[in-house]
């Protein structure tokens, strides 16, 4: 019979790698704690409608990447393809805004998208991200970009580029959309089918195009910056001067739209040169219209999501490895009484917080020493009938080769000193 394999685009995180994941996750938890963000965990699947409304039916995510199915009650449900919509759903459902006027949340979670798997692009992948709900002011935009950027620096990423834009508020969007359509109309025949559809549904998405000849066309498209209201412009200027005062480098990119109707003002993306084709490591923006779209009262919000697999790929390129935590003690059993005594001793050592291991295969002394070396043990304890009679065990320092006898009762205090 064939052995079964995992689904294309999904990955096991094997023991050797899970240490890196734990270290990265711990880093994020500590980082977010420092910034005053609290963790939120939402279910793996939601009603499909949440994403149709909360991400937008014209996005790649909703139009072609979702894993959706009908459950037993014929409800259409979807494995979450992104985390913002579920977080907002939860925020509204539990009325978190009543507890504090500014709600600061973060997550470390998986997401599912039916995409063509390739390096840095998978069908189940992971993101960490934050959402700050309740403030329209540029100081929170500054904080969100600072968190996105400084957390990546803390994870060891280098040479990052922050691309930044402001797409203004909904007031200026109508005029811009018309100007953009006027510009694109003569090029309609040169556009892809997707872009032609977006011309009617959401023409701003076309600015985000990854199709090279379309990117060439939109280079000379009208620029949203020229349509911003004075309040939008003031917001953007304040954000930029905040970034400068924190020495956070950024490049303005007038075509960075990140496409949703309810996106407002700030949009940003962080690019790592270590990633090749899938160079975007983080995407974020302000979504002042989203909470209302999902049935809440108008509430400003802003957030970002960073792809964890892409962070790990960039770490690989920078030669960053997680330090393995070596076994401190390996207990060697010379005979049956020695093994019985070691089973008690190892339990005491472990309960005292000392990383210890022993042989469970009844192997020869030589093989047990080999195993101790493989685990990088600092000390071995040797225990057998003779030791038990003498009321001691042998302790050998594997670095110096020194060996001495010690009473089991003194072992823990000896090791912890």
Q: Is residue 20 part of the contact set for ligand ATP (CB under 6 A)?
A: no
CB atoms within 10 A of CB 75: 11
Instruction: Please give the C-alpha separations between residue 181 and each of 35, 135, 168, 194, in angstroms, as whole numbers.
Output: 42, 32, 18, 15
Q: What distance in Å separates the CA atoms of residue 385 and residue 378, rounded to the nearest whole number?
A: 24
Q: Is residue 109 part of the contact set for ligand ATP (CB under 6 A)?
A: no
**Residue at token pair 């507890």:** 99
Tokens read off for 116: 């063509």
Q: How far is the CB of 411 from ligand ATP (least distance, A)?
A: 48
Region from 164-172, 289-297, 304-312, 344-352 binding ligand ATP, contact rule CB under 6 A: 304-312
Task: Identify the residue among 282, 312, 334, 381 touching ligand ATP (CB under 6 A).
Answer: 282
Q: How far is the CB of 65 from ligand ATP (least distance, A)?
A: 8
Q: What distance in Å separates the CA atoms of residue 301 and residue 143, rounded to the nearest whole number?
A: 12
Instruction: Please give the C-alpha separations between residue 65 and each of 70, 93, 117, 285, in angstroms, as whole numbers.
Output: 16, 26, 12, 21
Task: Identify the residue among 86, 134, 222, 283 touching ligand ATP (CB under 6 A).
Answer: 283
Q: Is residue 307 part of the contact set for ligand ATP (CB under 6 A)?
A: yes
Q: How far is the CB of 293 from ligand ATP (least distance, A)?
A: 17
Q: How far is the CB of 163 from ligand ATP (least distance, A)?
A: 11
Site string for ligand ATP, 74-103 (x = CB under 6 A): --------x---------------------
Q: Is residue 115 part of the contact set for ligand ATP (CB under 6 A)?
A: yes
Q: In what order do the strands lie in the sheet with 251-252?
A: 38-39, 103-112, 124-133, 301-307, 280-286, 264-271, 161-166, 251-252
Site string for ligand ATP, 117-136 (x = CB under 6 A): ---xxx--x-x---------
Contact 408, 381 (CB under 8 A): no
Closest residue to ligand ATP: CB criterion? 307
Contact 194, 60 (CB under 8 A): no
Tokens read off for 236: 């953007």
Q: How far is the CB of 124 from ligand ATP (least distance, A)?
A: 8
Q: How far is the CB of 121 from ligand ATP (least distance, A)?
A: 4
Number of residues that bind ligand ATP (CB under 6 A): 17
> Considering only residues 240-279, where is the footprint of ligand ATP by CB under 6 A?
278
Cβ distance to ligand ATP smaller for residue 168 or 259:
259
Tokens read off for 405: 């006898």
Cβ distance to ligand ATP smaller for residue 272 or 333:
272
**Upper half-sphere CA count for residue 27 (Cβ side, 13 Å):** 18
Contacts of 62 (CB under 8 A, 6+ apart): 51, 52, 55, 56, 81
Cβ distance to ligand ATP smaller for residue 51 or 379:
51
Contact residues for ligand ATP (CB under 6 A)?
Answer: 82, 113, 115, 120-122, 125, 127, 278, 280-283, 305, 307, 309-310
């Amino acid at each position: 019979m064939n052995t079964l394999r995992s689904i294309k685009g999904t990955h096991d995180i094997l023991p050797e790698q899970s240490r890196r994941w734990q270290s990265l996750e711990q880093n994020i938890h500590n980082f977010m704690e420092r910034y005053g963000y609290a963790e939120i965990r939402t279910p793996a699947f939601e009603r499909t409608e949440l994403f149709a409304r909360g991400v937008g039916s014209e996005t790649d995510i909703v139009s072609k990447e979702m894993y959706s199915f009908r459950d037993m009650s014929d409800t259409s449900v979807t494995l979450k393809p992104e985390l913002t919509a579920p977080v907002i759903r939860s925020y509204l459902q539990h009325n978190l805004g009543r507890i504090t006027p500014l709600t600061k949340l973060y997550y470390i979670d998986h997401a599912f998208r039916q995409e063509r798997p390739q390096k840095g692009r998978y069908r189940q992948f992971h993101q960490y991200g934050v959402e700050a709900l309740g403030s329209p002011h540029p100081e929170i935009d500054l904080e969100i970009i600072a968190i996105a950027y400084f957390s990546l620096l803390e994870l060891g990423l280098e040479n990052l580029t922050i691309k930044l834009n402001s797409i203004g508020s909904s007031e200026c969007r109508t005029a811009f959309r018309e100007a953009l359509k006027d510009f694109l109309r003569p090029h309609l025949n040169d556009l892809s089918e997707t872009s032609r559809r977006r011309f009617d549904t959401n023409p701003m998405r076309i600015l985000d195009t990854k199709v090279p000849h379309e990117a060439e066309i939109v280079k000379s498209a009208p620029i949203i910056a020229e349509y911003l209201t004075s309040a939008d412009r003031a917001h953007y200027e304040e954000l930029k001067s905040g970034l400068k005062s924190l020495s956070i480098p950024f490049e303005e990119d007038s075509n960075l739209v990140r496409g949703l109707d309810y996106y407002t003002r700030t949009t940003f993306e962080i690019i790592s040169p270590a990633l090749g084709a899938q160079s975007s490591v983080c995407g974020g923006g302000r979504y002042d219209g989203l909470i209302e779209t999902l049935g809440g009262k108008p509430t400003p919000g802003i957030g970002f999501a960073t792809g964890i697999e892409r962070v790990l790929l960039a770490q690989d390129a920078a030669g960053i490895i997680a330090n393995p935590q070596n076994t401190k003690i390996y207990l060697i059993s010379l005979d049956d009484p020695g093994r019985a005594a070691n089973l008690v001793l190892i339990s005491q050592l472990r309960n005292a917080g000392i990383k210890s291991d022993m042989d469970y295969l009844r192997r020869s002394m030589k093989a047990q020493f080999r195993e101790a070396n493989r685990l990088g043990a600092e000390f071995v304890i040797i225990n057998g009938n003779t030791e038990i009679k003498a009321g001691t065990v042998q302790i050998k320092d594997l670095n110096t080769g020194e060996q001495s006898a010690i009473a089991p009762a003194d072992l823990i205090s000896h090791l912890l000193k």
